Amino acid sequence: MAKQNKVFVIFQDTEDSRPFVDAFEQENTDASIEYLPGLVRIEAEGRLGITQEVVSEIAGREVDLQEMHIVLVSLSGSVDEDEDGFSVAWG
């Protein structure tokens, strides 16, 4: 099997980012999460993704995934997003 490159997303460590961070943690069990001063870095081999349904469930309200861009600091990978989900991946 060919080695996959790591993908990552980095969020501000704020209350507004918490539902997104928690959704990435819940939906990507192989991901590593690192808490840095003021930031949260989530990293995995090949792909990371979240669904709008899980983010909304965690937040306790209907969440538009576009809200994520307010607290997103950086990412690595090709983005695939629509109103139902967001992912970054290589290949």
What type of residue is 5? Answer: N
Which pLDDT belongs to residue 1?
47
Specify the CATH superfamily of domain 6-89: Monooxygenase component MmoB/DmpM (3.90.56.10)
Which pLDDT belongs to residue 4?
65
Which pLDDT belongs to residue 91?
77
Degrees, nearest 5: CA angle 72-43-39 = 40
Residue pair 22/29 in contact by the 8 Å Cβ criterion: no
What type of residue is 49? Answer: G
pLDDT tens across the length of the chain (91 residues): 455 699 999 999 999 999 999 999 999 999 999 999 999 999 999 999 999 999 999 999 999 999 999 999 999 999 999 999 999 999 7
Size of the chain, expressed as the number of residues it contains: 91
Q: What is the rounded CA–CA span in Å between residue 75 and residue 60? A: 26
Q: How far is CA 84 from CA 2, 3, 91, in A?
A: 30, 29, 21
Which pLDDT belongs to residue 85?
98
Q: What is the rounded CA–CA span in Å between residue 63 and residue 83? A: 10
